[in-house]
Structure 1
Amino acid sequence: MTDFDSDLSSSADFDCAPVRLTVDLGALADNWREMAYRSGKARAAAVVKADAYGLGIEDCGTALYEAGARDFFVAVPQEGATLRAYVPDARIYVLSGIWPGQERMFFEDDLVPVLASEEQLAFWMSAISERGDHPCALQVDTGFNRLGLSFQDALALAGDVSRPASFSPVLVLSHLHSGDTPSSPLNRKQLESFRQVADAFEGIESSLSASAGIFLGPDYHFDLTRPGIALYGGEAVNGMKPLKPVAKAEARIVQIREAETGSTVSYGATHQLSRQSRLAVVSAGYADGYLRSLSGAGVPIRAGGTQGAFGFIAGHRVPAIGRITMDLTIFDITDVPAAEIRIGDYIELFGPGMPLDEVARAAGTIGYEMLTGLGLRHERRYIYPE
């Protein structure tokens, strides 16, 4: 059960921080176990790139490892080197592959490069001829037009009897571009292409699905799945309820003020009050990852009367009004009984009371960006599983 009120790792710094972030590692572990269950016969990895989606690769990596994950994916080798100390015998894949000058990091920290181009392949062949055998993975493009060998080049490589014996990939992978839209016929088209590639590399494990693909069913699971956003409590599939919330971001109320009918709020005077109002000024803004596009008024994405973000406090949803600024946001708390809020209290920006993806949609973006865009000023508390 998620318990954001647990005080297992509270501190004086957290209790008075201007902005703070609570990460429920028990919920994270539960979400991984759920995705592992949904992966059926396939083994479930854990994607911890971008500092574990902004929540901290050290603590999240440890919790996922203790939950049972033994395969991890990072974006760059520096992330893999950091993670290695926390997952001592796990396999760590680096999605950006390898480039000259990075050899020492890969070999010393036992990282597995995901090779995605002819140039990387050629460099890898050179590296292993000098340093000896080392596992690698191969990425194939099946319609994304992002990273990976072309479908034709991958099949040619699989059938090349002259390829060096030292080139021994342990995984062949691809990525779905529309997995979050189950009705898309392009998912099946990519699946059919990847099956041909997987069959061509007989005896080598294969992986197609990230979080969204897992929900498409067993046909998409292959040997290894790669859950990411679902682990952190974000929506993996459009319109599908996410798993347990993992992160709660809060901002402290630094002032409560009375404002007159007809007066305006924040930069540009873009919001005019239609009633006598009580306003809470909180210490979070776009420097903290609370995006300017969440503003209640005065930014292009809010044109045409589209409503901005809401916060959550004392059981009430409260709207952000006026423009969000670098360090401050203003919420209208007029409808919350005065006795229930005081200066120093915290408004939840997203979390169990204000769903991450609802906030993201108000900003015109996705939960991934909300999490990975968290600023450096959040004081963090990690709630550990019992």
Structure 2
Amino acid sequence: MADREKQAGAVLTIDLGAIRANYRFLRSQLAGASCGAAVKADAYGLGAIHVAKALAAEGCDHFFVAHLDEGIALRPHLPASADIFVLHGPLPDTELEFVEHRLIPVLNSASQVAGWRQAARIAARRLPAVVQVDTGMSRLGLSRQEVENWLYDPDFLRGIDLCYLMTHLACAERQDHPMNAAQLEAFQALRKKLPQCRTSFANSSGIFLGQKYHGDLVRPGAALYGIAPVQGASNPMQSVVTLKARVIQTRVIDRGDCVGYGGTYRAAGRRRIATIATGYADGWLRSFSGRGFAHVDGVPVPVVGNVSMDTLALDVTDVSADRVHAGAYVDLISASQPVDDVAALAGTIGYEILTSLGARYHRDYVDTQTPRAAQRQPSTEFSI
């Protein structure tokens, strides 16, 4: 066992081979569209540099981040030919940093378009950009009025090379939700007025709505990382992460004894309790208090009492004592309890679980699709 792993309270294993397999599967669902990848939020908490390199090796050359600094950090680790799109667009006075680092902004408002026009004048050349339009989510993108102004203003995109017209689906994971069809209709109506534009429409879930939602470039995120893309359907994606945490100590408590802050758990009888070196500072949410589970050899062991900042307590009475002792591991995310099941226990979604996974874990990058001798990649780079 490596020193860093021995020192850490928990080990997060990230299977880059599973991410690559998920990318290939998503790409196989397309007919004519290109498949990009959302690696924003540090690739949903899993390490954008590692993930983006693995996806680039699969032929992905369109990457989406949220913030400018994410794009700047990622740029040196991708081929020069790869496009990095920044979903939030340029904040005021940051446009020339986009130019310097060869980043492509997603322009979400008339003011961002104006700033990018000015940057093109300063650079004395046409600059690439994506223009996002709002089709009903009311979050980012040109409003209906801004779109109308664009259509009547021949100089609106002067100096701008329009790569894609983009919008974002609000309810795609629910395939029967009426908003999907309403957004498609709104987007298609605009597309007819701009026939020269390539389009980017589908996210992970949108891919499974069918070809009419794909456009020219899809941009999956969550499905790459093993999260189920369609609500209520079986998950076709491979699991990507496992998380195992170490036992600090065990104790036996008697009837009436309390566990944890607030005394919210009181033993109904003699119980064996294990204290685990993971808490809400590590992304194991406080909402797991009294409702979550870990697993030991596939056997569920319940969380008892409130999750603390650095620890949680498990009732391991039903597990052999020789399997749960100081230094032993319990499984928090595993084949017995994948990310979506963990999220359901916490009353949230898989996105929040992944993006909350903390910095204190030892991260072990493996690739289950390569020969074992070449599997492990030491985590020597800082995540972005």
The normalised TM-score by structure 2 is 0.92
2:207 corresponds in structure 1 to: 214
The one of 96, 99, 109 equivalent to 2:88 is 96
CA contact (8 A) 1:159 1:200 kept: no
Alpha-carbon distance, 1:152 to partner: 4.4
The aligned runs of 1:181-220 (5 Å cut-off) are: 181-220=174-213
Structure 2 counterpart of 1:236, one-letter code = P
Equivalent-residue separation in structure 2 for 1:369 and 1:74 (angstroms): 17
2:62 corresponds in structure 1 to: 71
- Indicate yes or no: 2:300 matched with 1:317: yes
2:337 corresponds in structure 1 to: 354
The normalised TM-score by structure 1 is 0.91
CA contact (8 A) 1:99 1:123 kept: no
Cα pair distance change 1:319/1:106, threshold 3 Å: same
CA contact (8 A) 2:113 2:157 kept: no
The aligned runs of 1:53-202 (5 Å cut-off) are: 53-88=44-79, 89-131=81-123, 132-163=125-156, 165-202=158-195
The alignment partner of 1:278 has SS state of: strand
Alpha-carbon distance, 1:261 to partner: 2.1
Alpha-carbon distance, 1:377 to partner: 0.7
The aligned runs of 1:22-61 (5 Å cut-off) are: 22-61=13-52
1:368 corresponds in structure 2 to: 351
The alignment partner of 1:339 has SS state of: helix
The alignment partner of 1:104 has SS state of: helix
2:273 corresponds in structure 1 to: 279
CA contact (8 A) 1:270 1:322 kept: yes
Equivalent-residue separation in structure 2 for 1:28 and 1:309 (angstroms): 26
With 132-141 and 153-162 compared, the bigger mean Cα shift is at 153-162
The one of 17, 31, 34 equivalent to 2:8 is 17
CA contact (8 A) 2:279 2:311 kept: yes
1:266 corresponds in structure 2 to: 260
Alpha-carbon distance, 1:358 to partner: 1.4
The alignment partner of 1:22 has SS state of: strand
The alignment partner of 1:85 has SS state of: helix
The alignment partner of 2:332 has SS state of: strand
Alpha-carbon distance, 1:353 to partner: 2.5
Residues 54-104 of structure 1, C-alpha deviation per residue, up to 9 Å, x if partnerless?
010110110111112110100011111111122222111100101233233
Equivalent-residue separation in structure 2 for 1:163 and 1:75 (angstroms): 24
CA contact (8 A) 1:22 1:382 kept: yes
CA contact (8 A) 2:11 2:362 kept: yes
Cα pair distance change 1:159/1:224, threshold 3 Å: farther
Structure 2 counterpart of 1:170, one-letter code = C
Cα pair distance change 1:362/1:149, threshold 3 Å: same
Residues 329-358 of structure 1, C-alpha deviation per residue, up to 9 Å, x if partnerless?
001111112233332111121232211111
CA contact (8 A) 2:247 2:324 kept: no
The alignment partner of 1:141 has SS state of: coil
The alignment partner of 1:320 has SS state of: strand
CA contact (8 A) 1:151 1:197 kept: no
Equivalent-residue separation in structure 2 for 1:92 and 1:338 (angstroms): 51
Structure 2 counterpart of 1:280, one-letter code = A
Structure 2 counterpart of 1:287, one-letter code = A
With 210-219 and 349-358 compared, the bigger mean Cα shift is at 349-358
Structure 1 counterpart of 2:43, one-letter code = A
Alpha-carbon distance, 1:269 to partner: 1.1
The alignment partner of 1:249 has SS state of: strand
2:234 corresponds in structure 1 to: 241
Equivalent-residue separation in structure 1 for 2:162 and 2:240 (angstroms): 34
Alpha-carbon distance, 1:124 to partner: 1.1
Structure 2 counterpart of 1:167, one-letter code = I
The alignment partner of 1:168 has SS state of: strand
Matched-pair identity in %: 40
The alignment partner of 1:192 has SS state of: helix
Equivalent-residue separation in structure 1 for 2:151 and 2:54 (angstroms): 37
Alpha-carbon distance, 1:368 to partner: 0.7
Alpha-carbon distance, 1:12 to partner: 2.6
Alpha-carbon distance, 1:30 to partner: 0.5
Structure 2 counterpart of 1:105, one-letter code = E
Q: Which runs of 5+ in 1 are unaligned?
A: 1-9, 297-307
> What is the total number of aligned residue pairs between the two structures?
366
The alignment partner of 2:127 has SS state of: coil
Alpha-carbon distance, 1:163 to partner: 3.6
Equivalent-residue separation in structure 2 for 1:365 and 1:274 (angstroms): 29
Residues 99-119 of structure 1, C-alpha deviation per residue, up to 9 Å, x if partnerless?
233233211221100000111
Alpha-carbon distance, 1:165 to partner: 4.1
